[in-house]
Structure 1
Amino acid sequence: MDFLKIAFELVVGYIALFALTKILGKTQITQITAFDFISALVLGELVGNAVFDKDIGVREILFAVSCWCVLIFATEMATQKFKRVRKLLEGEPSIIIHKGKIVYNQLKKNHLDINQLQHLLRSKDIFSIRECEYALLETDGTVSAIKKSDFATPTRNDLSLPSQEIGLPITLVIDGEAIYDNLNAISKDLDWLKNELKQQGIPDIKNVLYAEWEKEKALHIQTY
Structure 2
Amino acid sequence: MVESIVVKVLVGMLGVLFFLRISGKTQMAQLTPLDSVNAFVLGALVGGVVYNPDLSAWYMVLALGVWTVFNLLIRFLLRFKHLRRLIKGDTVMIVQGGKINLKEFRRNGLEMEQFRTMLRENGIFSMFEVDEVRFETNGRLTVSRRGDRLQSYLLVNNGAVLESSLRSAGQTAEWLAENLRKLGYDTPSDLFCVEWTPSQGFYIQPKNEPDAATGAVSDPVETVCN
Same fold (TM over 0.5): yes
In structure 2, the residue matched to 1:139 is 137
Is structure 2 residue 89 aligned with structure 1 residue 84? no
Q: Deviation per CA, 1:57-100, whole angstroms, max 9, x where unpaired?
A: 11110010010000111111210x21111000000012111211
Q: CA deviation at 1:105?
A: 2.3
- Give the drift of 1:26: 2.1
What TM-score comes out, normalization by structure 1 length? 0.62
**2:118 maps to what in 1?**
120
1:31 and 1:83 mapped to 2: Cα distance? Answer: 21
The one-letter amino acid of 2:124's match is I
Match for residue 60 of structure 1? 59
What CA distance in whole angstroms lies between the structure 2 residues aligned with 1:109 and 1:27? Answer: 31
Gaps of at least 5 residues in structure 1 are: 154-224
What is the aligned partner in structure 2 of residue 35 from structure 1? 34
Q: Out of 76, 93, 115, which is 2:91 matched to?
A: 93
Measure the CA separation in 1 of the matches of 2:16 and 2:90.
28
Alpha carbons of structure 1 residues 28 and 91: separation in structure 2 relative to 1, 3 Å: farther
Give the aligned partner of residue 71 of structure 2.
Answer: 72
Worse overlay, 115-124 or 57-66: 115-124
Match in the other structure for 1:17: 16
Q: Which amino acid aligns with 1:106?
A: E
Q: Give distance in 2, aligned partners of 1:69 and 1:83.
A: 22
| Cα distance in structure 1, aligned partners of 2:22 and 2:29 | 15
Q: Secondary structure at the match of 2:29?
A: coil
- How does the TM-score come out when normalised to structure 2? 0.62
Following TM superposition, by how much is the alpha carbon of 1:109 offset from its aligned partner in structure 2, in angstroms? 1.1
Unaligned runs of 5+ in 2: 150-226
CA-based RMSD: 1.6
Aligned to 1:26, the other structure's residue is in SS state coil
In structure 2, what residue type is equivalent to 1:62? V
Choose 1 or 2 for highest CA Rg.
1
- Secondary structure in 1 matching 2:45: helix
Distance (whole Å) between structure 1 residues aligned to residue 107 and residue 2 of structure 2: 48
Partner of 1:26: 25
Aligned to 1:214: none
Q: 1:28 to 1:46 in 2, by over 3 A?
A: farther
State the distance in 2 between where 1:31 and 1:78 align. Answer: 21
Query: Paired residues, what number?
Result: 149
Structure 2 distance, partners of 1:135, 1:102, is 9
